[in-house]
Structure 1
């Protein structure tokens, strides 16, 4: 575990260094307004592409108005980002108060079962911690103009938003590494099974009232809820990574339409993944008794395995 923490520190230092080197280089123009330096003997170099007239620029006819219309209401996207994250926290908090936690029917047995490897734990926290930073800085970038800026001085706001943008860009790299390794490494265990629909039908056994109380539906290594989160993370993560890279490196696309579409997709996926991330964190830390231990030690209690992943536990016992 100590080696993994050292590796994580090295990766973060590398990201900081790369960010600093990028910041020290020459600023590059946006790809849709290239700047060309034309050297003329005996004269001041001419910069073509820079606006030289005080008149308003002509609107690029190739820009699709649909993208602009979708991005135009900044307050709408600010609200969507806020409600998807903080709204989900409020809903789940109320659910826990009314429903209670999912306790182990037989309590903790004290016997441990190996569930995750050291590499699994490392990439989970590498991507997970980076994801939390991305969510926090993304919320500031998307909502701070309306929620934070009016309550602080202009100089303070400039420092906050500039720091958030820099940290957001830096945390993208460990997130990409964690996301890619998790998707490739865990995909074989996330395929649909015949028991998945029944798991949803019994709400995963997490409801503590009515006919749902005491239900413990069958599940393999990953239950249906975890699979839903995995595929949302895998597909949504691919879109958010691709669109994010376009915004970090505009030269990857050739038109404003592509850049605007990337921003729109980034916002949509941020809303979806933000809400799912809250559910994932709640299920691991609050709802499921004994669940957090899995991604801290790599082991789980036998009774936890029997109650939440009985089909997988039976396979482990046969080995």
Structure 2
């Protein structure tokens, strides 16, 4: 080997050593003589402030697996573990408190003329089936969903980690599969009750007269009053929102990324809590809040005087359709 060839070889070796040693030398040593990571060219804080995530390169075609660290995950964790807990508790407990206060102040709305002893059909069997299919599945989804949010706080200290783990596993699968029944019931309700829930002129009169909550005053209404129509439309909107976001969570990363999944989970949780508050009010009116209301969906028939006081326009249409004689049956 010539002298110049040796010079070139030594130079090449030194260059290679420089590529390896230079990054190590770039780190300043701490008091104990170990490299100080905070003195690196890019420190941890700088990395954490990167938006939306820190991502590397991988050989498999799974983009989410290349995410090394996602600072937005801390924001999502704060929402799920702090904001959602407090917000959800305020919404649920606040709704129950308002309903309890309404019961104490207004009391139960009675049938002013008393029961007539005759009943008239208000909901047919299929209509009641669709309602109860949606209602029962909603209750199951609500309870199992609340376990996801509040289970670690409320249930875990009572039953212990092992039992809570088993309950949560069953609740998870119950929640997932019950969602299909809820979507089916919601779709049926949307179709069969759509026409009756369109806005009408009588709704403004119902609102002007206090919606039937003023004693000794019966607000006019068709088959559904404005309050019931609002519950219908809000339930449809909330039902579509929780169903869409729920299926994104049920089938993760099908056309979505990590940020999309976090957004879907947040939307699902917020809408579900507001939905529960709405249905709590609906349940109150249909049970404790108004005499005779539960019979409409419970048995399909209501007392004639109840229909006259709360849905007089609908009753008049029924009587006219049947030639002035209601298809009423004596009360048992």
* Deviation (angstroms), 1:298: 1.2
Task: Note closer, same or farther for the CA distance 1:58–1:317 as it changes in structure 2 (3 Å cut).
Answer: same
Q: Tell me which residue corresponds to 2:88.
A: 81
CA distance in 2 between counterparts of 1:160 and 1:58 reads 32
CA distance in 1 between counterparts of 2:159 and 2:308 reads 53
Q: Give 1:11-160 correspondences, 5 Å limit.
A: 58-59=68-69, 65=72, 69=75, 72-73=78-79, 74-160=81-167
CA distance in 2 between counterparts of 1:136 and 1:228 reads 24
Kindly provide the CA deviation profile for residues 186-240 of structure 1, in whole angstroms up to 9, marking residues without a partner as x.
111001112223323433222xxxxx32121111110011001000011110010
Kindly provide the CA deviation profile for residues 52-73 of structure 1, in whole angstroms up to 9, marking residues without a partner as x.
9xxx95336xx9x4x9736633
Q: Quick check: 2:206–2:225 contact (8 Å CA) kept in 1?
A: yes
TM-score after normalising by structure 2: 0.73
CA distance in 1 between counterparts of 2:77 and 2:296 reads 41
Q: Tell me which residue corresponds to 1:276.
A: 278
- After superposition, the CA RMSD in angstroms is 2.6
Q: Which runs of 5+ in 1 are unaligned?
A: 1-32, 37-45, 207-211
Q: Quick check: 1:84–1:274 contact (8 Å CA) kept in 2?
A: no
Q: Tell me which residue corresponds to 1:19.
A: none
For the residue of structure 1 that corresponds to 2:193, the secondary structure is helix
Q: Quick check: 2:64–2:258 contact (8 Å CA) kept in 1?
A: no
Of 195, 202, 215, the match for 2:202: 195
Q: Tell me which residue corresponds to 2:16.
A: none
* Deviation (angstroms), 1:165: 1.0
For the residue of structure 2 that corresponds to 1:250, the secondary structure is coil
Kindly provide the CA deviation profile for residues 146-181 of structure 1, in whole angstroms up to 9, marking residues without a partner as x.
222234422122112212111111211111111110
Task: Note closer, same or farther for the CA distance 1:95–1:168 as it changes in structure 2 (3 Å cut).
Answer: same
Q: Which runs of 5+ in 2 are unaligned?
A: 1-54, 322-332
Kindly provide the CA deviation profile for residues 120-171 of structure 1, in whole angstroms up to 9, marking residues without a partner as x.
0111111101101111111111111222223442212211221211111121
Of 278, 290, 295, the match for 1:288: 290
TM-score after normalising by structure 1: 0.76
Count of residues paired in the alignment:
264
Question: Which has the greater radius of gyration?
Answer: 2
